[in-house]
Amino acid sequence: MAREILRYRELTDNEARFYNESGYLVLPGLISRPNAATLADEVLQVVEGLGIGRADLRRATTSKDKLRQSRQYLAHWELARLIHSEALLAIAARLMGGPSTLYLPFTAVKSGGGGGRFHFHQDNQYTRFSGPGINIWFALGEMSPENGCLQIAPGTHLNGTLDSIESDDRDGHRTVAVEPDRFLPLRMMPGDAVAFTRLTLHGSGANRTDQPRLAYAVQFHRDDARATRAGEDLGLLKENPRYVIAPVAEISPANE
């Protein structure tokens, strides 16, 4: 059995209640600082494998610098242990209130030098779930408003899936017609995580530093969740997964 990467897996009733009432829950020190450093290096290796040098991450040049996402990883990496962590799955199931399944893991890398502000949106404004979904987002470096930390609008999950429009920079990302004027910037340290629902409004500011902002997200759905995409019924996600989540032989643009 693979060694567990998470430092804890049990949550209190008060933590679960806060998550359900507020739409998010900060999980301090969910992984150790040394493990966070290893994961950060692997995330940078993913970006390099896609043809983006580390020096290129110091300054944004295109709209893709808003967020570089890839679900690729190698079998022997710490990322594999994180993605397939039994403890992480247990946390997701506890917060969503039932047996759950891995949906999608991905890098969340924002370039420095003004790497794009990410407009407020809901994950459910892309592929729409009929049941609970969760995003567990890991800080792999220090997160602050200066480098574009995650921003959460508490309680917005209670409003259901909101109407969305394309963001004004026309990069294919969605946003809400009216962004919230009350939100919480999440200052985090390496190894901290935050869990939030698929309906929780979230975004991030621009990265005004000269270093990339490194994070990693692992999403799950409850086993009774169905999905639709562009009006098409995709069925029960557990039986019809959207993504094949498995290690690749090498990190390559061809595997995207």
The predicted-structure confidence for 3-29, as pLDDT tens digits, reads as follows 899 999 999 999 999 999 999 999 999
Cβ-Cβ contacts under 8 Å for 170 (sequence gap 6 or more): 63
The predicted structure's pLDDT at residue 237: 96
pLDDT at 89 over 60: yes
Tell me the one-letter amino acid at 246.
A
Q: How confident is residue 57, by pLDDT bands cut at 50, 70 and 90?
A: confident
Domain 13-231+239-244 has CATH 1.20.210.10: no
Residue 211 contacts residue 143 (beta carbons within 8 Å): no
The H or E element containing residue 37 is helix 33-49
Q: Summarize the confidence of residues 142-156 as an average pLDDT.
A: 97
Alpha carbon distance 213, 187 (integer Å) = 13
Instruction: Using alpha carbons only, give the angle 37, 41, 42 rounded to the nearest 5 degrees.
Output: 115
pLDDT at 241: 95
Ranking 88-102, 170-184, 188-202 by mean pLDDT, the lowest is 170-184
Please say whether the dihedral angle defined by the alpha carbons of residues 205, 122, 142 and 215, taken in this order, is positive or negative: negative
User: C-alpha 99: how far from its chain's center?
Assistant: 20
Q: Please, which residues have CB within 8 angstroms of residue 17's CB and are 6 or more apart in sequence?
A: none
User: Each residue of 175-203: b (16+ CB within 10 Å) or e?
Assistant: bbeeebeebeebebebbbbbbbbbbbbbb
Measured over the CA atoms of residue 5, residue 118, residue 51 and residue 71, the dihedral's sign is positive
CB atoms < 10 A from the CB of 253, how many? 11
Task: Give the predicted TM-score (pTM) of the model.
Answer: 0.94
**Regarding beta strands 133-139 and 193-197, do their DSSP bridges make them parallel or antiparallel, or are they unpaired?**
antiparallel
Mean pLDDT in residue range 139-167: 91
Cα separation of 218 and 231, whole Å? 25
Q: What percent of the chain has pLDDT over 70?
A: 92
Average model confidence (pLDDT) across the chain: 92
Using CB atoms within 10 A of its CB, is residue 34 exposed (0-12), middle (13-18) or buried (19+)?
A: exposed
Of the pLDDT bands very low, low, confident and very high (cuts 50, 70, 90), residue 170 is: low
